[in-house]
Chain A
């Protein structure tokens, strides 16, 4: 089951601990301790989840086809979330029990023994998971409009998933001869990014209403497993897929990732606008600065299909094993994370740009039983 809230990584995050911040006086080090930016949470409680789970296990044709279908509805209250607090208090965040989040979902797993002979077996399995995450309530209805209040500062909106992107979106490039409104931005010229404007009547200045909300969660994910046995050979392959997920990709807009179009660092090749290439979908390069609003082009589809595991093995014939005095002798080769197919332009569709990506590994092995 997917995580429904934020799990703190380190212990003691609700305690009032101080950071060590030393200094030098007269060339000599002096010790210093000061509370950090996180306020302690002495009354922090555990999250409570109430779950309704309906599952049906079935088997057909003498269990040649078997599977499970499960639907669930989980309400989690008192979620432990790292809430941002207003910085004039001197602190910027605190772990708090907040509100209620609802997760509804469907999990289907299916397993079928398509062929079951003495010499040849073929199994096919699949699973499908879909989860919908939604914030039900946060702090109550403090502004008295009859609806639960959203928390804009933390990007928590009622009725939306708890983890979202909420940013302006680039929808095109200003062309030569096109009028660029003065309040869209200073110094914008043909070749710069045009932002989505929800209310053009009230001016072109980018506002909160123009921001687009995108969930950070996938629409669904699943696996397909293929297993075969032919005489003494065994073969297994797992394919894993995540679909409908959008991720922020710094390789599209970050200076350190080479996306600045300044001729300073190497990066992804883009079809950028020039007066000779007005159909380019990327903004014009500039020498001194990044293109304005370049980060609004940063969200990219990170759906992927990955051949997670592929194994081929050979077990020695039973009589040969017995002659050697062993109980088992199998040789195998396994590949992990062999192929990933995705449109996400980075080292891995699952990891952040600066993280170490998942390695591809091949293992040759020998299983011997004595």
Chain B
């Protein structure tokens, strides 16, 4: 009996003892999508490309108050048109990656790697050739755009088109600054492919041939290839899908009009954070807007004259403002942009909106001198649907628009010697600003001579605080000089407290986070001057 039991047990153990248990330990993930799906199937490729849009939106129009927001606000506000009131003072010793633009480096390279992964994987996926080209074209447009951003921001960058995998992570890499020639070749090839394979007419939110040509034209301007740039811009102008719209429509509630080459899409119902389809609430509306509802002067029996109202911008922050230099560039009587792109500068144009105040409906009294509460503010990011009490706005924001195409085309044509055409484009933008109409034949306010100052001033009037002037001035080599002349800071919030900010020449290039330099093994050539 005993022996029988013993043998029985042995017979059971025997097979188990000889089988390997390692495969029982390998557990397939059942409730998450594996990256294999994205890179091995047509449907996967499509969702992979859609997710790139989500990441680009976070890169350029992030939600909340965090390093991503600061990176973007920096380029919008820290030009010769800006007045700084609070938060880190730019161009000082706190001009560090942590305080300013470090997240552009990390987010940028992440997007580039994901684009490279899609582009590489697409080669071996079996699907309809046209659809595949369109998907790859979108990925290449994004990669080209982000490399251009990085080159414009940091100047000394690395380039890499091989997607990172655990297998190749530890391949020996020589970290050296990529040569200009290599960088431009990569950007040009990516954007040329995108131009060749994208349509002009695309659904709102998608990259189309218009924006691909626009970015390719900008890259050409940086390379001083003015003929190439002019050709790109000319193509967009003559093709006709894109054009100027009436002045009130440009930054109106609907961003998906024909002047928009690319607008980031947001939606409150589908959102509430960067990860979700609708995105998270952007704070841009408040960054450049005064907090009029904090105005103390004129208060009666504890009731302020102004209560929080979406018409005045709603909940605001007042971190940066348009400065007096920018104000001096406008013909306040005739240039309609002064009243459309900005909230009223004259306090008498605001009415008391607090129903409990005795002067309800009448103009407010003179505000105390406190920039946080009252200063000429930007209205471009104004959102009528913003809820009271929150900084979050879900308005779609245009990132590239046709007015910039016209202005850059004007500049390119001037360098090629075609001043007639250069002035024509410059004045198209100017006439829209003065008449409010998309097109006008009235030449009374036209600029008659093309000079760099006329051009920069018109560009300031049209495109202030839209993230491109910083790069325009850097490209022209005028950034440091103009910065030191015109940008002001006033942490006390008063006119007397306004002082200049000392920008040093090496600060035209952004500092790469030191932890990243350490992780790369401290290679030479990066962060020159820091």
- Interface: B89 (CB within 8 A): yes
Q: For B36, B164, B166, B270, which residue has the most chain A Cβ atoms within 10 angstroms? A: B166
Distance in angstroms between the alpha carbons of A325 and B78 in the assembled complex = 84
Chain A min CB distance to B215 (Å): 19
Contact B166 A153 (CB under 8 A): no
Nearest CB in chain A to that of B32: its residue = A17
Q: Which A residues touch B29, using CB under 8 A?
A: 12, 15, 17
Total A-B Cβ pairs within 8 A:
181
Contact A94 B166 (CB under 8 A): yes
Q: Which listed residue (A23, A37, A43, A92) contacts B54, Cβ 8 A?
A: A23
Contact B265 A23 (CB under 8 A): yes
Contact B38 A34 (CB under 8 A): yes
Chain A min CB distance to B13 (Å): 26
Chain A min CB distance to B1 (Å): 43
- Interface: A286 (CB within 8 A): yes
Q: Which B residues touch A367, using CB under 8 A?
A: none
Within 8 A of B (CB), among A3-34: 12, 15-27, 29-34
Distance in angstroms between the alpha carbons of A17 and B36 in the assembled complex = 8
Nearest CB in chain A to that of B44: its residue = A33
Task: Digitize A77-99: 1 where CB-to-B-CB distance is under 8 Å, 0 elsewhere.
Answer: 00000001111111110100000
Q: Which A residues touch B86, using CB under 8 A?
A: 288-289
Within 8 A of A (CB), among B143-178: 158, 160, 163-164, 166, 169
How many positions in chain B have a CB within 8 Å of any CB in the partner chain? 65
- Interface: B203 (CB within 8 A): yes
Q: Which listed residue (A31, A43, A187) contacts B92, Cβ 8 A?
A: A187
Contact A39 B516 (CB under 8 A): no
Q: Which A residues touch B117, using CB under 8 A?
A: 35
Q: Which listed residue (A26, A84, A185) contacts B204, Cβ 8 A?
A: A26
- Interface: B227 (CB within 8 A): no
Contact B166 A89 (CB under 8 A): no
Distance in angstroms between the alpha carbons of A22 and B54 in the assembled complex = 6
Contact A41 B166 (CB under 8 A): yes
Task: Digitize A289-331: 1 where CB-to-B-CB distance is under 8 Å, 0 elsewhere.
Answer: 1001000000000000000000000000000000000000000
Contact A22 B50 (CB under 8 A): yes
Within 8 A of B (CB), among A182-213: 185-187
Q: Which B residues touch A90, using CB under 8 A?
A: 109-114, 116, 163-164
Chain B min CB distance to A15 (Å): 5
Contact A87 B50 (CB under 8 A): no
- Interface: A60 (CB within 8 A): no
Distance in angstroms between the alpha carbons of A370 and B310 in the assembled complex = 69
- Interface: B515 (CB within 8 A): yes
Looking at the complex, which of B229-237, B272-280, B347-355, B403-411 is the stretch in contact with chain A? B272-280
Contact A34 B516 (CB under 8 A): no
Contact A16 B35 (CB under 8 A): yes
Within 8 A of A (CB), among B80-110: 85-89, 92-94, 105-106, 109-110
- Interface: B329 (CB within 8 A): no
Distance in angstroms between the alpha carbons of A143 and B516 in the assembled complex = 18
Contact B38 A18 (CB under 8 A): yes
Nearest CB in chain B to that of A152: its residue = B518
| Known contacts A24-B265, A29-B277, A153-B518; A34/B36 CB under 8 A | no
- Interface: B57 (CB within 8 A): yes
Q: Which B residues touch A103, using CB under 8 A?
A: none
Distance in angstroms between the alpha carbons of A90 and B146 in the assembled complex = 13
Q: Which B residues touch A92, using CB under 8 A?
A: 106, 110
Nearest CB in chain B to that of A84: its residue = B519
Chain A min CB distance to B158 (Å): 5
| Known contacts A32-B48, A187-B89; A153/B515 CB under 8 A | yes
Chain B min CB distance to A358 (Å): 29
| Known contacts A286-B491, A287-B491, A288-B491; A15/B38 CB under 8 A | no
- Interface: A40 (CB within 8 A): yes
Contact A18 B32 (CB under 8 A): yes
Distance in angstroms between the alpha carbons of A40 and B167 in the assembled complex = 10
- Interface: A369 (CB within 8 A): no
Q: Which B residues touch A177, using CB under 8 A?
A: none
Q: Which listed residue (B112, B491, B492, B516) contacts A86, Cβ 8 A?
A: B516
Contact B34 A17 (CB under 8 A): yes
| Known contacts A25-B205, A90-B112; A32/B516 CB under 8 A | no
Nearest CB in chain A to that of B501: its residue = A186
Contact A21 B54 (CB under 8 A): yes
- Interface: B53 (CB within 8 A): yes
- Interface: A144 (CB within 8 A): no
Distance in angstroms between the alpha carbons of A289 and B90 in the assembled complex = 12
Distance in angstroms between the alpha carbons of A92 and B516 in the assembled complex = 10
Q: For A23, A34, A86, A289, which residue has the most chain B Cβ atoms within 10 angstroms? A: A23
Contact A33 B37 (CB under 8 A): yes
Distance in angstroms between the alpha carbons of A286 and B85 in the assembled complex = 12
- Interface: A42 (CB within 8 A): yes
Contact A23 B277 (CB under 8 A): yes
- Interface: B191 (CB within 8 A): no
Q: 25 interchain pairs (CB within 8 A)?
A: A17-B32, A17-B33, A17-B34, A20-B51, A20-B275, A21-B51, A21-B55, A23-B53, A27-B265, A29-B278, A33-B38, A33-B44, A33-B47, A35-B35, A86-B516, A89-B160, A90-B109, A90-B111, A90-B114, A94-B169, A152-B518, A185-B93, A287-B493, A288-B85, A288-B493
- Enumerate chain A interface residues (CB-CB to B < 8 A): 12, 15-27, 29-35, 37, 39-43, 84-92, 94, 152-153, 185-187, 286-289, 292
Extra contacts, 13 of them, besides A15-B32, A29-B270, A89-B164 (Cβ < 8 A), are A12-B29, A17-B33, A18-B51, A25-B265, A32-B48, A33-B48, A34-B52, A35-B114, A88-B109, A88-B160, A89-B160, A152-B518, A153-B518
